[in-house]
Structures are given as structure tokens and as C-alpha cells.
Structure 1
């Protein structure tokens, strides 16, 4: 079998320092979804480097604080930007 150097069409792949944003976003979203004390159905998780941005809405300020704590506990998360609102 002959292995050829990989080629691509269009823009070259982006280089990320640290964890890949999609992996980190998924890890935080998974942690929020399995937490029993946070309704994560209206929370959007985005990643900028190792900074996680939580946006959307939750039921209370305490739930927002818990969501931030859960996101911060995920390995590789550097900081959490809380943009959550509550009713």
C-alpha cells in the first residue's frame, strides 16, 4: 500500500492552541446535560480558546451559578463567561 501526502481543497485547516473548541464545547454541554440540578435545555455553550461562554436562560440565579460551576469544573476550561439570564 502506498501512502500519499494528504491534500485539501480550499482553506487550510485551522490550528488551535490547546483543546479543539468542538471537543471542549461538547464536554461542557455533556456535563450540563447530566447535572440533575440544572435545566440545560436553553443553554448554549460556545468556546473561544479555553474560555467557555454560556448564554441562554435558566430558571433562577442559583441555577445560573450552578451552571457556571459545572462548566468551570470541566478539564481544560480556563474561564467561564456567564451570559445567562433567568426569569
Structure 2
């Protein structure tokens, strides 16, 4: 994941409340990006209320588990639906 300074037409965007799903998505995505032993470059985060849906791919089964644990550790997350798969890159 790559994070850039948040701007909207050159202006700082207004912050949404901590309960807003977009803010929860931001916090979960950040936590996934900084979690050790996890390459979350191809992981997607979508929130509906306080439920987080993880999608995309990682390299190992261990990373799938780490991603779910990291998402559950974020304040405000009530449920995590983990649909992350194993990347097929480099096989075959």
C-alpha cells in the first residue's frame, strides 16, 4: 500500500468522524500497512458500519491470519470477514 498526503483539489480534506466507515477503512488499511510480517500491497479493505471485509491476495497462509488479526485489533472493528486468498504469482 502506498500512502500519500491527502488533498482534494490541493486543499486538505475535511475529516470524517471516527464512526464513519471511510475513517475505519483508513485506520484498518494503515494498520495492515505497518504490521510486521505482512505484505498488504494487494489487500483491499471495505467497511460497512463496523464490519470490515478484507479481500485481495497475499503470499502465504500466515499473512492471511496476520491480516485478520491486525484488522481485529483496530478500535471500532466489530467483525472481520476475511476473503484474502493466496497469490498464484511465481508458481507453475
TM-score, normalising length from structure 2? 0.73
The corresponding residue for 2:38 is 38
Within the alignment, does 1:29 sit opposite 2:29 as a pair? yes
Structure 2: 5+ residue runs without aligned partners?
1-17, 88-92
Residue 37 of structure 2: SS of its match in structure 1? coil
TM superposition outliers: structure 1 runs of 4+ over 3 Å: none
Identify, as 1 or 2, the structure richer in helix: 1
Give me the TM-score of the superposition, normalised by structure 1.
0.77
CA-CA distance at 1:62 after TM superposition: 1.0
What are the residue-to-residue correspondences of 1:1-87 with 2, within 5 Å? 19-87=19-87
| Structure with larger Rg | 1
Shift of 1:45: 0.3
For residues 36 and 69 of structure 2, what CA distance do their matches in structure 1 show?
13
Q: CA deviation at 1:19?
A: 1.1
In angstroms, what is the RMSD of aligned CA positions? 1.1
The number of equivalent residue pairs is 70
